[in-house]
Structure formats: C-alpha cells, structure tokens
Structure 1
Amino acid sequence: MNEAVLRRPVGSISIMAEQLRQIIKAMELPNVTIQLLPFSAGLHAGAMAGDFSILDFDQEGRGKEVEPPVTYLESATGAIYLDKAYETSAYNTIWADLSKRARTEPQSKTMIEEIAEEYSRA
C-alpha cells in the first residue's frame, strides 16, 4: 500500500482515522498481509506501471498449472488481462522491487498507527 493513500484524506479527518484503525484490525487476520511503501522508497517501477494484480492459480494434483498466471490491469474505461509469460514476468519483477522497498509488516503497522494518531489529533 502506497503511503500516499493514507496521507490523502477521503472524507473527514475522523473518517480517515477510523479507516486506518480498520486497516490495523485487518492486519491481525492470518490471511491478510499489508506492507506500506513509504515516500522514502523513492521513485520505483510501480509508479510507472500503475495499479496491477498478479493472479496465480492452483496447481492440479501432479503439480501442473491449471491456468497460467495472469496480470490484471484496470483503467477508467475497462480492464486488460495480460497472459503472455514475458508480460507476467515483467510485472513479477516490478512486484519484487516493490516488495524489497516496502516496510515489513510490523514497521507498516507502526507507521499506519502513527498516521491514524495524526488524524486523531487534527
């Protein structure tokens, strides 16, 4: 999650504080991972790539892919599904870079708590 989405208020200050508290609650769930990409990470390939999701599918019993990975891009006018290996590979490289630059989960939680507190004091 980019730090900008936490710093750009949507609704009132109290709504932002509550939204961040809900994110913190979600981080306690075993199937949720949230890592914050701070402004200090600098310019990164993800900034140029825009929003994307990499969809990986289960493998059948013998370890064979049921479906190949797909990269999903959403825009104002529609969506694009990239299914060529070189396309998905490019987005996997971007994802790896983002993951390296992001804060750990505990660091992210602390930072989100600090930003929520800033909204609460405003």
Structure 2
Amino acid sequence: MQEPGVGAAEIMNGIRHVRPGGGFEPNMTMFEKTQVNGDSESEIFTFLKDACEYTDGTFSSGVNYSPLRVGDISWNFEKFLIDKFGKPYTRYHPTLLTTDTISADITTLLAA
C-alpha cells in the first residue's frame, strides 16, 4: 500500500488537491486499495503471481507485510498481461517494461 490514503475518496482528494492539485479532476475509475502481497493479498494477485514467472532477481528489504514470499510483487508499476480468455500471459518487471516489448506481446495475443 504505497499510495497514502485509506480509501478511494481520500486518494482522489489527494489527486485533486495535492498531486497535481489545483482542483484537477481525474477522468478515471478509482477502485479501492487492495493488498498484493502477504496473508491479506487479494485472490486475483495470488492467481496472477502463481501463473506468471517471477521477474525480479532481488528481494526488497524493509517491506511491511508478512509472510514474505519469492514471487511477491516488488513495486506498484509491475504489470501483468492477460489474454482474451482471462489467462495470464506474462509479467513485466517495471525496469524491463518497454513500449516495444508490451506492443509485441499484445500483437501476438491479438493474432492468436
């Protein structure tokens, strides 16, 4: 839970008044925060992590959940690509994700 705030309304207020502020009105659906690691992780993230190969060679210290598991999501910009049948296709570490990489994978999935 890296984004400060308790729920969607509080987070949205942070966007409106702090980042970028000035009464900015985001044009997106804001969902509730969820846990992606640990005993309280959301079932969707358990499913995604079990289906895709781990993308990081190191394990972060200083995390605030337990238990720690190999395969945990290490950063909030990590992405999962899912095919049109709902099957996880691959997982992207944020430092390795490029427009070219994901474009090629999306093209492959659309052609399947």
Do the two structures share a fold, i.e. TM-score over 0.5? no
1 or 2 for the larger relative contact order (CA 8 Å, sep ≥6)? 1
Q: Which structure: greater helix fraction?
A: 1
TM-score normalised by L of structure 2: 0.29
TM-score by length of 1: 0.27
